[in-house]
Amino acid sequence: MSDWNKKIIEEFRTNDGKVGGHFKGKTLLLLHTRGAKSGQERVNPLACVRDGERFVSIASKGGADTHPDWYYNVKANPKVSFEFGTDKFQALATIAEEPERTRLYDKMAEMMPGFNEYREKTERVIPVIVLTPV
């Protein structure tokens, strides 16, 4: 795990799910996945939006031409858990399909306009991950 992620995770847990810097005022969650190859637990801080009872994150990787590693973990092992604020949830992760994918992506981009830049930077269709608590 990168030092950048470690710092965000530590700040998230210390401040009941709130962080400063680039993510100040934004909604984050900590996604716990199992490595697709290793089977080891991984934790990634992700921007998210609520959609009813569901939580939505974008596998943008900053607009890179490849998906982030956590996306492959979710795809291989969709039973995940996540931290939101001080709460912990078990969830089923699904990859949104059209037209829901675009609706949810646009919802995230309203909160964090940088997601518009990410989709303009790459030719890949950026996946939208829906976390449904179980």
Structure-block tokens of residue 40: 């080891």
pLDDT at 1: 52
* All domains in the chain, ordered by first residue: 3-15+25-133 (2.30.110.10)
pLDDT by residue for the chain (134 residues), tens digit each? Answer: 578 889 999 999 999 999 998 888 889 999 999 999 999 999 999 999 999 999 999 999 999 999 999 999 999 999 999 999 999 999 999 999 999 999 999 999 999 999 999 999 999 999 999 999 99
- In this prediction, residue 4 carries a pLDDT of 84
Helix, strand, or coil here: 29?
Answer: strand
The secondary structure element, H or E, covering residue 122 is none
